[in-house]
Amino acid sequence: MEAGGPTEDIIVDVKSRLTLLMDVMKMMLTQQHSQIYKEEAYLIICDLLVVFCDQLATNTK
């Protein structure tokens, strides 16, 4: 890890929060009756995939 980079604890925390957010968005896609909420959940998932696409391609963990 680089000096001044995020600590392992911060990385684990961010990953767990991201996983929780994705789980909530997936739940909204499948269980929400409002089309507006479904669309917003879909857009959030797409945005997160764009933001983290490099990490998804290089890190299989």
Q: Tell me which residue range forms the domain holding 26.
A: 22-53
- Residue 44 pLDDT: 96
Answer yes or no: is 4 within a domain.
Answer: no
DSSP 1: -
Question: Using CA of residue 7, residue 9, residue 14, residue 16, what is the dihedral sign?
Answer: positive
CB 29 within 8 A of CB 38: yes
- Residue 61 pLDDT: 61
pTM, two decimal places: 0.74
Average pLDDT over residues 1-18: 84
Answer yes or no: is 10 within a domain.
Answer: no
Answer yes or no: is 39 within a domain.
Answer: yes
Task: Indicate if the pLDDT at residue 1 is higher than 60.
Answer: no
What percentage of the chain reaches a pLDDT higher than 90? Answer: 62
Answer yes or no: is 14 within a domain.
Answer: no
> What is the domain count for the chain?
1
Answer yes or no: is 11 within a domain.
Answer: no
Answer yes or no: is 58 within a domain.
Answer: no
